[in-house]
Chain A
Amino acid sequence: MKAQISGRAYVLGDSVDTDQIIPAAHLVYSMTEPDERRMYGRYALSAVPDAEAGLPRGGIPFVRDGEYASDYRIVVAGNNFGCGSSREHAPFALQVAGVEAVIASSYARIFYRNAVDGGFVVPFECARRLADVVETGDHLDIDVAAGTVHVRRLDETFLLHPLGEVAAILEAGNVFEYARQSGMIG
């Protein structure tokens, strides 16, 4: 896990489900073949309704037409982010698109677990509802050790919830590395 995660934010509302994060029609691509893998970046967040895509104004595509990566490094969302299906393709698609961290008010359980165990994106929670404060395009600086996020436009710093027990898995890289380091598997 990086000590510092900086970049522009893409803001979403509540209960953005896995069908919006990566629509089912695209789940057929290989997650390892480079030519196909990048399709997950192209279609990441492609089913978010236009009015909610890139709040507060909406109508901002997460990935520009014909591109495979996003201009945004950090997704900011309301509550219950990643609800719906268990598809690991969801945090994976965000990672392929270039996202390093998500800051949500809360997460659906399987998405959170997948993000951590697969080591795709760091799922932060913030007590303050950042989705109401941050605007799409704002530049954020996350200080992982301090557990804070700084919003440059507002020159304000917000506290993130401690990552707690999952920090060790994120630090190790994924659940396999974590299990190896703790002697669970060879």
Chain B
Amino acid sequence: MTLTETILAAHAGRDRVSPGDNIWIDVDTLMTHDVCGPPTIEIFKREFGEDARVWDPDRLVILPDHYIFTDDPHAQRNIEHLRAFAAEHSLAHYYDVGTSRYKGVCHVALAEEGFNLPGTTLFGTDSHTCTSGAFGLFSTGVGNTDAAFIMGTGKIWVRVPETMRFVFEGALPPWLMAKDLILTVIGDVGLDGGTYRALEFDGEAVFDLSMEERMTLTNMAIEAGGKNGIIAADEKTEAFVRARTDRAYTMVAPRADARFVYEKVYDVSQMEPVVAKPHRPDNRAKVSEVEGTPLDRAYIGSCTGGKFEDFVAAARILEGNRVQVDTYVVPASTEVSRRLREEGLHEEGLRGEGLSGGKTLWQIFLDAGCKMGHASCGACLGGPVDTFGRTHGTEVVISTTNRNFPGRMGSKQSAVYLASPLTVAASALAGVITDPREVLV
């Protein structure tokens, strides 16, 4: 069995499962946020009763993150709804807005707070819940109804997916990031190439990646239609998890008899920086093919491209320079935001320890002329009209986010190019789409 099948079988109390089987499984962790949490709670109460109890309050994680810094009264009402529910059920893992517990984007916070446990099952009311699979667990997004069902029972039905395996060999050149790898995969298989399937990432180049970079790979499994993205846990995974939690988990090893429905091997040393052109994440082009495309805006943020190392990468390029277009910087989490204010660039670049010239990363962005936002989803999904960085007209944007469907960042007339933080930063400096190899020294 593949990694995904092994985890699902264990949670269904079976020795074996095969792709296509419909099985009921035990859920280890359920996550919800401010957009889908309130309607999930309404369904939970409708179906299980006003006084119903959550199946296991210690396994429910509520992370408001989407519509946080807005005056929209409906969005604020959603937060109040979550707050009341958390109090009613004495939820230990509710991260309230406006308190020191507030975290920011749910998928990044799940990692930071140690909820991504190898070998477990994690469901969330957000399609990018597949991000958590970077830690060797089965994670996927569900709707409110399914989440409400889990809330009441701790169980859910799943169809066991076939697994596609993407192997990355070789050493990653300094101008490439995980974002380039996953945009390449999505361009190859298409928006629905992974529908009903698990996307497993393997190979030395994957295990050389940091946990944050691995999360970028699994994060965008959904952009290929994938049910889950997954990477086997290794020592790096364990070290990351153990530094954050003492919760129990069981590592799952991939099995020798694993069968894959599709396999593709990439040599990362031969790959190039890429973008996804408007208006589809699979509309891939090499940066060299779209170089010179005029831009109105750059955006660095989200669960895909707003992690600490994403900003370190961007800062390497922006340091000592000025951006030519409006550039929005939105840390995914409060921890990322804090580190940006405390840490700087190290000589070797991608390690954020020590300060170069005494400048913090935050200061590097400010001096480069960037607009700095609060930790949240920000304009990744458009959101209420007063959202920081949201598009309102015909802006052409280059962004580290994960989707560029019409209207995704607000206006359906705007056009969004998706790219790595290196490519976005290089393009922000030039005001036109630019290959990071031209500015990286």
On A, residues with C-beta under 8 Å from B are: 15, 17, 19-20, 23-25, 27-32, 36, 47-49, 79-80, 83-89, 106-110, 113-114, 117-118, 165, 174-176, 179, 184-185
Q: Are B35 and A87 in contact (CB under 8 A)?
A: yes
- Cβ distance B199 to chain A, nearest Cβ, rounded Å: 12
Min distance, Cβ A5 to any Cβ of chain B, angstroms: 21
Interface status of B284 (Cβ within 8 A of chain A): no
Chain A nearest CB from B256 CB (Å) reads 28
Question: A84 to B403, Cβ gap below 8 A?
Answer: yes
Query: Which residues of chain A are near B238, meaning CB under 8 Å?
Result: none
Q: How far is the CA of A137 from the CA of B278 in the complex (A)?
A: 29
- Whether B406 pairs with A87 at a CB distance below 8 angstroms is no
Cα distance, A114 to B155, chains bound together (Å) = 16
Selected contact of A24 from candidates B152, B192, B196, B382, CB within 8 Å: B382
Which B residues are in CB contact (< 8 Å) with A113? 142-143, 146
Complex Cα distance, B148 from A174, in Å, reads 12
Q: Chain B residues near A179: list those with CB within 8 A.
A: 149, 153
| From B127, B153, B383, contact of A25 by CB (8 A) | B383
Contact B280 A15 (CB under 8 A): yes
Selecting from B71-79, B261-269, B291-299, B322-330, the interface stretch reads B71-79
| CA distance in complex: A36, B75 (Å) | 13
Cross-chain contact B225 with A80 (CB below 8 angstroms): yes
- Measured between beta carbons, the chain B residues less than 8 angstroms from A185 are 152-153
Known contacts A83-B191, A106-B195, A184-B24; decide if A118 and B144 are in contact (CB<8 Å).
yes
Interface size on B, residues (CB 8 A): 51
A-B CB contact pairs (8 Å), 8 listed: A17-B405, A32-B39, A84-B127, A86-B129, A108-B195, A113-B142, A113-B143, A176-B149
CB-CB under 8 A for A110 and B384, given A80-B192, A83-B191, A165-B22 = no
Q: How far is the CA of A185 from the CA of B150 in the complex (A)?
A: 11
Name the CB-closest residue of B to A27: B35
Q: Contacts A28-B75, A28-B384, A85-B127: A109 and B227 contacting too (C-beta < 8 A)?
A: yes
Instruction: Contacts A15-B280, A27-B35, A185-B153 given; indicate if A110 touches B142 (C-beta within 8 A).
Output: yes
Closest A residue to B142 using CB positions: A86
* B145 partner, pick from A25, A47, A79, A118, beta carbons under 8 A: A118
Q: Which of A27, A32, A49, A114 contacts B143 (CB 8 A)?
A: A114
Chain A nearest CB from B327 CB (Å) reads 22
Query: In the complex the two chains form, what is the Cα distance from A87 to B382 in whole Å?
Result: 14
| B143/A117 in contact, CB under 8 A | yes
Instruction: Tell me how far the C-beta of B8 lies from the nearest C-beta in chain A, rounded to whole angstroms.
Output: 15
Q: Which residues of the other chain, A, contact B396 by a CB distance below 8 angstroms? A: none
A24 to B227, CA, bound (A): 22
Contact call A47/B412, Cβ cutoff below 8 A: yes
B406: nearest chain-A partner, CB-CB = A49
> Which A residues are CB-close (under 8 A) to B47?
176
* Interface presence of B1 (CB below 8 A): no
Residues of B within 8 A of A117 (CB): 143, 145-146, 149
Docked-complex contact A87 and B36, CB < 8 angstroms: yes
> In the complex the two chains form, what is the Cα distance from A29 to B84 in whole Å?
18
Residue of A nearest to B145 (CB): A118
Say yes or no for B42: interface residue by CB 8 A criterion: yes
Query: Which chain B residue shows the least CB distance to A31?
Result: B39
Q: Which of A23, A88, A174 contacts B36 (CB 8 A)?
A: A88
Interface string of B122-142 (1 = CB under 8 A from A): 001111010000000000011
**B192/A28 in contact, CB under 8 A:** no
Known: A28-B74, A86-B125. A19 touches B39 (CB 8 A): no
CA distance A69 to B78 in the complex (A): 25
Complex contact B412–A109 (CB within 8 A): no
Contacting A at CB under 8 A, from B39-79, are 39, 42, 47, 67, 72, 74-75, 77-78
Q: How far is the CA of A28 from the CA of B412 in the complex (A)?
A: 19
For A174, the chain B residues whose CB sits under 8 A away are 145
Closest CB of chain B to A3's CB: distance in Å?
Answer: 24
- The verdict on A86 contacting B143 (CB below 8 Å), with A19-B408, A25-B383 known, is yes
Contact (Cβ within 8 A) A88 B145: yes
| Interchain CA distance A87-B39 in the complex, whole Å | 10
Contact at B22–A32, with CB atoms within 8 Å?
no
Which residue on A lies nearest to B158, using beta carbons? Answer: A113
Known contacts A80-B195, A86-B143; is A47 also within 8 Å of B407 by CB? yes
